[in-house]
Protein backbone atom coordinates (compact mmCIF):
# COMPACT_ATOMS: atom_id res chain seq x y z
CA UNK A 1 0.00 0.00 0.00
CA UNK A 2 1.54 3.29 -1.09
CA UNK A 3 1.64 6.14 1.50
CA UNK A 4 3.86 8.99 0.23
CA UNK A 5 5.83 10.76 2.97
CA UNK A 6 5.31 14.27 1.59
CA UNK A 7 1.52 14.20 2.03
CA UNK A 8 -0.85 14.75 4.96
CA UNK A 9 -3.76 12.36 5.68
CA UNK A 10 -7.16 12.20 7.36
CA UNK A 11 -8.97 9.51 9.35
CA UNK A 12 -11.48 9.38 6.50
CA UNK A 13 -8.75 8.41 3.98
CA UNK A 14 -8.23 11.68 2.10
CA UNK A 15 -4.71 12.93 1.34
CA UNK A 16 -3.56 16.56 1.13
CA UNK A 17 -0.61 18.10 -0.60
CA UNK A 18 0.13 21.59 0.72
CA UNK A 19 1.41 24.15 -1.78
CA UNK A 20 1.54 27.59 -0.17
CA UNK A 21 -2.01 28.41 0.96
CA UNK A 22 -3.54 25.79 -1.38
CA UNK A 23 -4.35 22.20 -0.40
CA UNK A 24 -4.62 19.63 -3.19
CA UNK A 25 -6.94 16.85 -2.02
CA UNK A 26 -7.52 13.27 -3.15
CA UNK A 27 -8.26 9.82 -1.73
CA UNK A 28 -5.58 7.40 -0.61
CA UNK A 29 -4.34 4.21 -2.21
CA UNK A 30 -5.88 2.32 0.70
CA UNK A 31 -9.25 4.00 0.08
CA UNK A 32 -9.32 3.13 -3.62
CA UNK A 33 -8.30 -0.46 -2.88
CA UNK A 34 -11.06 -0.83 -0.28
CA UNK A 35 -13.67 0.61 -2.65
CA UNK A 36 -12.69 -1.48 -5.67
CA UNK A 37 -13.38 -0.42 -9.25
CA UNK A 38 -14.49 3.23 -9.06
CA UNK A 39 -17.27 4.06 -11.54
CA UNK A 40 -18.74 7.38 -10.37
CA UNK A 41 -17.39 10.66 -9.03
CA UNK A 42 -19.25 13.79 -7.99
CA UNK A 43 -17.22 16.95 -7.33
CA UNK A 44 -18.23 20.42 -6.09
CA UNK A 45 -18.30 23.55 -8.24
CA UNK A 46 -15.27 25.83 -8.14
CA UNK A 47 -16.01 28.75 -5.84
CA UNK A 48 -17.84 26.70 -3.24
CA UNK A 49 -16.82 27.44 0.33
CA UNK A 50 -16.30 24.34 2.47
CA UNK A 51 -16.31 23.96 6.22
CA UNK A 52 -13.86 21.56 7.80
CA UNK A 53 -15.30 17.98 7.62
CA UNK A 54 -18.09 19.05 5.28
CA UNK A 55 -19.04 16.57 2.55
CA UNK A 56 -17.71 17.97 -0.75
CA UNK A 57 -18.36 15.07 -3.08
CA UNK A 58 -19.06 11.38 -3.53
CA UNK A 59 -17.09 8.52 -4.96
CA UNK A 60 -18.77 5.23 -5.86
CA UNK A 61 -17.50 1.83 -6.86
CA UNK A 62 -19.67 -0.88 -8.38
CA UNK A 63 -20.93 -1.89 -4.93
CA UNK A 64 -20.03 0.94 -2.52
CA UNK A 65 -20.77 4.62 -1.92
CA UNK A 66 -18.27 6.80 -0.06
CA UNK A 67 -18.60 10.48 0.83
CA UNK A 68 -15.62 12.81 0.51
CA UNK A 69 -14.92 15.00 3.56
CA UNK A 70 -13.02 18.26 3.38
CA UNK A 71 -10.06 18.08 5.76
CA UNK A 72 -9.94 21.88 6.04
CA UNK A 73 -12.16 24.92 5.68
CA UNK A 74 -11.55 26.85 2.50
CA UNK A 75 -12.69 27.78 -0.97
CA UNK A 76 -12.63 25.34 -3.87
CA UNK A 77 -10.49 27.06 -6.51
CA UNK A 78 -10.23 24.21 -9.03
CA UNK A 79 -11.67 20.71 -9.53
CA UNK A 80 -10.38 17.82 -11.59
CA UNK A 81 -13.59 17.65 -13.64
CA UNK A 82 -12.20 15.44 -16.45
CA UNK A 83 -11.71 12.73 -13.82
CA UNK A 84 -15.50 12.26 -13.67
CA UNK A 85 -15.27 10.67 -17.13
CA UNK A 86 -12.17 8.64 -16.29
CA UNK A 87 -12.87 7.38 -12.79
CA UNK A 88 -10.64 4.32 -13.23
CA UNK A 89 -7.71 6.76 -12.91
CA UNK A 90 -8.50 7.01 -9.19
CA UNK A 91 -7.76 3.28 -8.87
CA UNK A 92 -4.62 3.50 -10.99
CA UNK A 93 -2.96 6.69 -9.80
CA UNK A 94 -4.67 8.02 -6.65
CA UNK A 95 -1.87 10.40 -5.59
CA UNK A 96 -1.04 12.16 -8.85
CA UNK A 97 -3.33 12.43 -11.87
CA UNK A 98 -6.38 11.57 -9.73
CA UNK A 99 -6.29 14.61 -7.47
CA UNK A 100 -9.88 15.75 -6.84
CA UNK A 101 -10.00 19.41 -5.75
CA UNK A 102 -7.72 22.34 -4.93
CA UNK A 103 -8.83 24.34 -1.91
CA UNK A 104 -7.57 27.74 -0.73
CA UNK A 105 -7.06 27.14 2.99
CA UNK A 106 -8.69 29.73 5.27
CA UNK A 107 -7.02 28.66 8.51
CA UNK A 108 -3.55 27.08 8.22
CA UNK A 109 -3.72 26.03 11.88
CA UNK A 110 -6.23 23.32 10.83
CA UNK A 111 -3.42 21.57 8.96
CA UNK A 112 -1.66 20.81 12.24
CA UNK A 113 -4.34 18.31 13.20
CA UNK A 114 -3.76 16.12 10.12
CA UNK A 115 -1.93 12.79 10.13
CA UNK A 116 1.56 12.33 8.73
CA UNK A 117 2.40 9.25 6.66
CA UNK A 118 3.52 7.23 9.71
CA UNK A 119 0.36 7.98 11.65
CA UNK A 120 -1.78 7.13 8.61
CA UNK A 121 0.10 3.86 8.08
CA UNK A 122 -0.68 2.97 11.70
CA UNK A 123 -4.35 3.89 11.19
CA UNK A 124 -4.89 1.53 8.27
CA UNK A 125 -2.99 -1.29 9.99
CA UNK A 126 -5.68 -1.41 12.68
Partner 1 sequence: MDITEINESLLRTPLYSAHNDLNAKITPFAGWEMPLVYSGILNEVEAVRKRSGIFDVSHMCRVRILGSDAADFIQYLTSNDSHRLSNGTGQYSLLLNDQGGIKDDILQFRLSEEEYFLILNAGNAKKDLDWILSHKPPSVTLEDITRETAMIAWQGPEALKQCASLLKIDYPPMERYQIRKLSYKNQTLIVSRTGYTGEDGCEITVHADFALLLWREIMELGVTPCGLGARDTLRIEAGFPLYGHEIDEDVFPREAGLSWAVIPDKGKFIGSDAIIENNRAKAEKRSIGILAMDKTIPRQGYPIIADERNIGFVTSGTYSPTLKCGIGIVRVNAPYAKAGKTLHVEIRGKSYPVTTIEKHKMLSLSKGD
Please give the residue ranges that form the binding site for partner 1 (CB under 8 A).
Answer: 36-37, 39-40, 58, 60-63, 65, 84
CB 54 within 8 A of CB 74: no
Q: Which residues contact 99 (CB under 8 A, 6 or more apart)?
A: 17, 24, 25, 26, 80
Q: Which is nearer to partner 1, 91 or 117 (CB)?
A: 91
Q: Which is nearer to partner 1, 21 or 37 (CB)?
A: 37
The CB-of-92 to partner 1 minimum distance in angstroms stands at 12
The CB-of-19 to partner 1 minimum distance in angstroms stands at 30
What CA–CA distance (Å, rounded) separates 107 from 21? Answer: 9
Q: Which is nearer to partner 1, 43 or 114 (CB)?
A: 43
Q: Write the DSSP symbol of residue 31.
A: H
Secondary structure class of 67 (helix, strand, coil) = strand
Tell me phi and psi for residue 28, to 5 degrees.
-80, 165
Q: Write the DSSP symbol of residue 117.
A: H
The CB-of-77 to partner 1 minimum distance in angstroms stands at 24
Q: Which is nearer to partner 1, 46 or 62 (CB)?
A: 62
The CB-of-61 to partner 1 minimum distance in angstroms stands at 8
Amino acid sequence: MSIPENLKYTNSHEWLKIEGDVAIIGITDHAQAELGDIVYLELPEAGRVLQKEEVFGTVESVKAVSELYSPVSGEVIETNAPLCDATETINKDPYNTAWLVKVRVFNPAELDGLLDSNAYAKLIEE
